[in-house]
Amino acid sequence: MKRDLALQFSRVTEAAALAGHKWLGRGDKNAADQAAVSVMRSLLNKSEIDGEIVIGEGEIDEAPMLYIGEKVGLGGEPVDIAVDPIEGTRMTAMGQSNAIAVLAAGERGCFLKAPDMYMEKLVVGPNARGAIDIDLPLAENVKNVAQALGKSLKDMTVVTLAKPRHDKMIRLLQSMGVRVFALPDGDVAASILTSVPESQVDMMYCIGGAPEGVISAAVIRALGGDMHGRLVLRKDAKGESPENIAASEWEAQRCVEMGVEHGVKLTLQDMVRSDNLVFSATGITKGDLLDGVTRDGILATTETLLIRGKSRTVRRIKSTHYLDRKDDEVRQL
Ligand code: VTB
Ligand code: MG
Ligand code: MG
Judged against a pLDDT cut of 90, whether residue 329 lies above it is answered with: no
List strand residue ranges (DSSP E) for 129-225, in order. 157-161, 179-183, 203-209
Residue 332: is its pLDDT beyond 80?
no
Is any atom of ligand 1 closer than 6 Å to the C-beta of 161?
A: yes
Statement: residue 118 has pLDDT above 90:
yes
User: What is the rounded distance in angstroms from the CA atom of residue 25 to the CA atom of residue 46?
Assistant: 30
Q: What is the distance between the alpha carbons of residues 165 and 122, in angstroms, rounded to a whole number?
A: 15
**What value does the mean pLDDT take over residues 303-331?**
94
In DSSP terms, 272 is beta-bridged to: 111
Kindly indicate the confidence band of residue 62, based on its pLDDT and cuts at 50, 70 and 90.
confident
Q: What tens digit of pLDDT does each residue of 269-304 get? A: 999 999 999 999 999 999 999 999 999 999 999 999
Amino acid symbol at 118: Y
Name every residue whose Cβ is closer than 8 Å to that of residue 326 and which is 6 or more positions away in sequence: none
145 Cα: distance to centroid of ligand 2 (angstroms): 31
Please report the atom of ligand 1 found closest to the CA of residue 208.
7
Ligand 1 in reach of 84 Cβ (< 6 A): no
Q: Taking a C-beta distance cutoff of 8 angstroms, is the pair 268, 221 a contact? A: yes
CA torsion, points 170, 85, 80, 281, in degrees to nearest 10? -70
Residue with CA nearest ligand 1 atom 8: 208
Going from the C-alpha of 152 to that of each of 132, 200, 206, the distances in angstroms are 17, 14, 22
| CA distances in angstroms from 291 to 7, 10, 304, 329, listed in the order given | 19, 15, 8, 23
Q: How far is the CA of 186 from the centre of ligand 1 (A)?
A: 6
pLDDT band at 328 (very low <50, low <70, confident <90, very high): confident
pLDDT of the residue at 60: 80
What percentage of residues in the chain have a pLDDT greater than 90? 93
Q: How far is the CA of 209 from the centre of ligand 3 (A)?
A: 7
State the Cα–Cα distance between residues 300 and 79, nearest whole angstrom: 30
For residue 211, the CA-to-ligand 3 centroid distance in Å is 8
Q: Which residues are in the CB-under-5-Å shell of ion ligand 3?
A: 84, 87
The complex's ipTM works out to 0.97
